[in-house]
Amino acid sequence: MRLPGDPTERELVERIIRVDHAGEYAAIRIYQGQLAVLRGSDKADTIRHMQQQEQVHLEAFSALITERRVRPTALLPLWHLASFALGAATAALGERAAMACTVAVEEAIDEHYSKQSAALGDDETELRDTIDRFRAEELEHRDIGLEHGAEQAPAYRLLSRIIKTGCRLAIAASERV
C-alpha cells in the first residue's frame, strides 16, 4: 500500500533510473581515478575489466534516461570530480586500498540494487531484470576486490565504513536532486 508521502510508481521508477545512472557514471570515474595512479600496476587489467562492465551498465541507464524522459541528477558534475578523487586517493594509499574501495562501494550498491529490485512490481520486469543482472556483476567486482587483498588494506574497516557512508549519502541525494 502506498502511504502519504511515498513516491508514486512513476516517481519511483524515475528515482531508480536517475540514481542508477549517476551511480554507474560514478563507478567509471572511480576506476578512472584508480587507473590514473595504478596504470603501470599488475592490477591495471583487472581494474580495466571492471571499468568496461561499468561502461555497459552506464549505457543501459543512459538509454533509459532518454527513453523514459528522466531528468539526470544535477549532481553529476560533483560525482564526476568526487568519484575520480575517491579512486585516485584510495589507489594512492596502495593497491589493496583501491580494492578495499571497490569492495565497500559494491557492498553498498548490492544493498541498493536489492532494495530497488524488491520495490519494483511486475509491470517493470525488464527494469528489474536489468538491475538484477548488474547487481550480479557488482558482486563479482566485490569478489575480485576481496581476492586482490582488499581486507589487508591499512585501516580496512574504517576505510570501508567511510566509503559506504559516502555511497549511501550520494545515493539519497541523487535520487532526489
Binding site for Fe ion (CB under 5 A): 24, 27, 54, 57, 138, 141
In the complex with Fe ion, the residue whose CB is nearer, 70 or 109, is: 109
- In the complex, minimum distance from the CB of residue 66 to Fe ion, in angstroms, rounded to a whole number: 19
In the complex with Fe ion, the residue whose CB is nearer, 88 or 104, is: 104
By beta carbon distance, the residue nearest Fe ion is 57
What is the Cα gyration radius of the chain?
Answer: 16
Residues 157-174: b if buried by 16+ CB within 10 A, e if exposed: eebbeebbebbeebbebb
- In the complex, minimum distance from the CB of residue 138 to Fe ion, in angstroms, rounded to a whole number: 4
Nearest Cα neighbor of 84 from 140, 42, 31 is: 31
Chain position carrying cell 572511480: 30
In the complex with Fe ion, the residue whose CB is nearer, 7 or 82, is: 82
Compute the distance between CA of residue 160 and CA of residue 164 in angstroms, rounded to an integer.
Answer: 6
- In the complex, minimum distance from the CB of residue 8 to Fe ion, in angstroms, rounded to a whole number: 27
In the complex with Fe ion, the residue whose CB is nearer, 31 or 156, is: 31
In the complex with Fe ion, the residue whose CB is nearer, 7 or 80, is: 80
- In the complex, minimum distance from the CB of residue 95 to Fe ion, in angstroms, rounded to a whole number: 17
Three-state SS at 41: coil
Contacts of 129 (CB under 8 A, 6+ apart): none
- In the complex, minimum distance from the CB of residue 139 to Fe ion, in angstroms, rounded to a whole number: 9
